[in-house]
């Protein structure tokens, strides 16, 4: 797709919404976004609802992207990811802190592969601190921020409403990436 980000290459390591939303916004602006998915089922949002491979949620957050299935725990998968990173402008990921390090893609390794790489890491609770290793999703963020109390009945709690936290975070990540590209 032609657009202001035409010629910009982005590798997206994401599941669910937050990083996918950021990648979607950048792809909408013309960036070439390659979403890396686990070969064992891909992004969990693929099968959200009645669809097995292309749920409406998955399609809406992954439009204008290309996908590739890579086993990042295998040497061949790591080699393909390294080649993608070497020719990309941005690495966008939403792993918990330390996951990329354990896969062999720590900050020093990424710098050696591609010194001009912009690395956007989206975590629920930051890189350190007491909650750093905890998973975080929209429902967790809304509950901790007190937003859930506005639209969830205490007697019958359930996930409700739009994914405000995930979408706002994704938009801010895309904005930060745009600033870094400038």
Catalytic residues: 166
Distance CA 132, CA 113 (A): 27
DSSP string for 114-172: -TT-EEEE--SS-SSSTTTTS---HHHHHHHHTGGGGT--TTS----S--HHHHHHHHH
d(CA 122, CA 91): 11
- For the chain, the helix, strand and coil percentages under 3-state DSSP, each to the nearest 5: 40, 15, 45
């Amino acid at each position: 797709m032609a657009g202001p980000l035409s010629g910009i290459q982005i590798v997206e390591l994401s599941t669910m919404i937050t990083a996918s939303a950021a990648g979607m916004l950048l792809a909408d602006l013309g960036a070439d976004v390659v979403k890396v998915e686990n070969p064992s089922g891909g992004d969990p949002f693929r099968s959200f609802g009645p669809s097995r491979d292309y749920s409406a949620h998955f399609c809406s957050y992954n439009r204008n992207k290309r996908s590739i299935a890579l086993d990042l725990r295998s040497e061949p998968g790591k080699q393909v990811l390294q080649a993608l990173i070497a020719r990309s402008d941005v690495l966008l990921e939403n792993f918990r802190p330390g996951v990329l390090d354990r896969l062999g893609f720590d900050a020093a390794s990424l710098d050696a592969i591609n010194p001009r790489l912009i690395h956007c890491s989206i975590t629920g609770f930051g890189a350190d601190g007491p909650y750093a290793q905890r998973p975080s999703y929209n429902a967790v963020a809304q509950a901790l921020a007190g937003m859930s109390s506005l639209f969830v009945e205490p007697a019958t709690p359930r996930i409700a409403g739009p994914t405000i936290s995930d979408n706002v975070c994704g938009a801010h990540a895309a904005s930060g990436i745009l600033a870094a590209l400038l």
